[in-house]
Amino acid sequence: MEDISMPDGTMLRELVTMKMPFGKYNGTVLKQLPVSYLEWFARKGFPKNKLGNLLQCLLEIKMNGLEDLLRQIENIS
């Protein structure tokens, strides 16, 4: 059986608290980044680090209509 990685609570909390450290959206909380910006990263290549993993996860969440998940985490944090 294939192991499918699921975002853990820490990753979800970071999506609602961490700010983009560079670029056009410098200082914007990750969850507020527009899908078009995340899609640009998908085309150009996500950073090969923790931020890249977070951005990829965020794109999947937004593309699958799961933003309520982030709102729930935000209300808990």
Task: Assess if residue 3 is contained within a domain.
Answer: no
Task: Assess if residue 70 is contained within a domain.
Answer: yes
Kindly tell me the sign of the dihedral angle through the C-alpha atoms of 34, 59, 44, 28. Answer: positive
Instruction: Tell me the pTM.
Output: 0.86
User: With 70 as the cut, is the pLDDT of residue 69 above it?
Assistant: yes
Residue 21's domain spans which residues? 9-76
Task: Assess if residue 2 is contained within a domain.
Answer: no
Distance (Å, whole) CA 18 – CA 30: 6
For the chain, the domain total comes to 1
Rounded to 5°, angle at Cα 43 from 15 and 73? 10
pLDDT in tens, 1-49: 444 455 567 899 999 999 999 999 999 999 999 999 999 999 999 999 9
Contacts of 56 (CB under 8 A, 6+ apart): 42, 46
Task: Assess if residue 29 is contained within a domain.
Answer: yes
Task: Assess if residue 4 is contained within a domain.
Answer: no
pLDDT in tens, 36-51: 999 999 999 999 999 9
Distance (Å, whole) CA 71 – CA 49: 25
Task: Assess if residue 51 is contained within a domain.
Answer: yes
